[in-house]
Chains A and B, each alone.
Chain A
Amino acid sequence: MRRRVAIVLLGALAACALFADLVASELPLYCRLGGVTYVLPCVTRPAALAGEDQQTLAARGATLVSTPIPYGPLAQRPGGVLERLAAPSARHWLGTDDRGRDVAARVVHGARVACLVGPLAVLCYLFFGALVGAACAASRAADLVLARIIDAGLTIPALLLLLLVQGLSGRGSIAQVAIVIALAEWPQAARLVRAEALRVAASEHVLAARALGAGPVRVGVIHVLPLALGPIRVLAGFGLGQAVLFESALSFLGYGLAPPTASWGELLAQAAAHPRPWLLWPPAIAIAATVIAARLLVEDRAAGAVRRRPAGAGS
């Protein structure tokens, strides 16, 4: 049951990310203006409609089928009207932000960022963490050096790393934010994998493989790595939610994605500067939903695994 809830939530997130343009856009789903028909201009973005939005098209007498949310995430003056910090109303279901942009549209498009930053960051740090962790099991010398590097990574504050990465590219892109999050989180993954890898490396079947003459790389990749990945699955669930939260903290400090990208973190940062409930709660609930869904998805599998293990087998 909980698995189903998680899948529904994550599915909604992915759908928002994929179809954001069809849900909230300044151009309509279908438009007929002066004899010319446009199908899905919100996706195709024809040059003839550049500079127009649904409100001006309606004013010009075009027939159109509008998107559920008739505003784009970047539109500050839809139809030439600037309404900043407007409370939720029939026109703007979740109100507007400090620049007159529709909050509901920005929440929907923010899902795109969450969908990209989260998994990208998690993949990065799991990959790197698993690699370093498994390499620790290769030899004692490797373990000595790499374990110290992992410990060092655990104690260096994230802010410092942020500065380096931000300086290298400075563009505030999704990849850059994902890399920062990965740099901050990889030691945790590495530590867990290392513990598991060391345990597996001492197990019987690996010793047997070694006795049969398999080289260290073969042993590492084929025998140790797959078994050492167990704890990572739980970390992935935790990590997805955490990546989204980290992105919001970065936005709050002023170092997030380049404007005018819509992200939940950016809305929270605005909520801190202009305390309004419609700026605070929608992104907070969206983040919470993502975090819970990710945890549910992963935890269920882990819990199931625990239940299947015979009682009294110890840890």
Chain B
Amino acid sequence: MSRLRRTGVALLTLLVVAVIAFFVVELAPGDPASAALGTHGTEAAREALRDALGLRGGIVARLGGWLAALCRLDLGRSFVDGRAVRDKILERLPPTLALAVLALLLAWGVALPIALWRARRGGADKLDLAMSLVYAVPVPALALALLAAGAPYGPSFGAELAAAACLLPLILPRVYAHVAAALDEALRGDDARTLRAVGAPRARVVRVALRVQALRLLTIVSVQLPALLSGAVLVEAVFGLPGLGLLAFDALAVRDHPVQLGLVVVGAALTIACTLAVDLAAPLLDPRLRDGARG
């Protein structure tokens, strides 16, 4: 597929996400005006608030308006305090992004050496099993345990690191499985066999194998982002990180539609952008995929 076509497809996916998210959020029961006014609100106040929030009008008309604003990169204004959704998200993005990056780095840092060792031994089924044990660790309990053991609280690097470590059970098994499979394949592949036949040192064989599979390994990164965002909710509260996870949870509780939609779109855009970047960078990493050779 040509680069232009790939980008077009990515944008189309983003559009589909936006539309689905809009309908999910609008159709979910719960009245934002009622949530904002609480027990004391009168019907008159709720009606006035519904007008102010722009909840009148047919759903399709509102969808059109929202999509049009989206094209201008305007995510609307929060129901709760009227601030621009874009500002709120940008304000909360750094801690969550840092969390995601740290979690991925940690997962890689743990998975890669173990997978290399495994590949050198030619496979270790019991190790695979132990890795799936990690799956079963409950994230919230782990977070509280780390905090009790002395992990720092509040937006600091230490807290981010601790929170990222707590997210490992969510992503480590899959990252490890993919890395192990990729290495296996690479080391059994033609390039590796040729090098081994020629008598190249083990380290070189591994390096070549990694480069060949680099594409596949990078793709894993973008796939983990949605899981990380969902998992972020669980750890951000415990470590006091003012990130997107908590913003999402709060927006759900008070039915803040623009913020919910903004978060979904931003999250999806990040994921899709990652995938697209990897796709576009593919020819650079693997000469066989350059246009001209295969097309």
Contact = CB atoms under 8 A, between A and B. Distances in A.
* Direct A/B contact, Cβ within 8 angstroms: yes
Interface of B: 9, 12-13, 16-17, 20-21, 24-25, 27-30, 125, 128-129, 132-133, 135-141, 144, 148, 185, 188-189, 223, 225-226, 229-230, 233-234, 248-249, 252, 260, 263-264, 267-268, 271-272
A249 interface: yes
Nearest to A246: B230
B244 to A, nearest CB: 10
A249 B139 contact: yes
A157 B248 contact: yes
Given A157-B267, A272-B140, 13 more contacts: A148-B13, A149-B16, A155-B226, A157-B226, A163-B252, A245-B135, A249-B140, A252-B138, A268-B138, A271-B141, A275-B144, A280-B138, A292-B132
Contacts of B248: 157, 159
Interface residues of A, number: 42
Q: Is the interface of B mostly helix, strand, loop or mixed?
A: helix
Nearest to A288: B136
A157 B189 CA distance: 37
B8 to A, nearest CB: 11
Contacts, number: 121
B268 A156 contact: yes
A291 interface: yes
A152 B22 CA distance: 13
Contact of A291 (B28, B136, B141, B272): B136
Interface of A: 2, 148-149, 151-152, 154-161, 163-164, 167-168, 241-242, 245, 248-249, 252-253, 268, 271-272, 275, 280, 284, 287-288, 291-292, 295-296, 299, 303, 311-312, 314-315
25 contacts: A148-B9, A151-B13, A151-B17, A151-B272, A152-B268, A154-B271, A155-B264, A157-B248, A157-B263, A159-B233, A159-B249, A161-B24, A163-B24, A241-B132, A252-B140, A253-B233, A253-B234, A268-B141, A275-B148, A284-B137, A291-B135, A292-B129, A292-B133, A295-B129, A314-B189
Contacts of B234: 249, 252-253
Contacts of B141: 268, 271-272, 280, 284
A71 B234 CA distance: 33
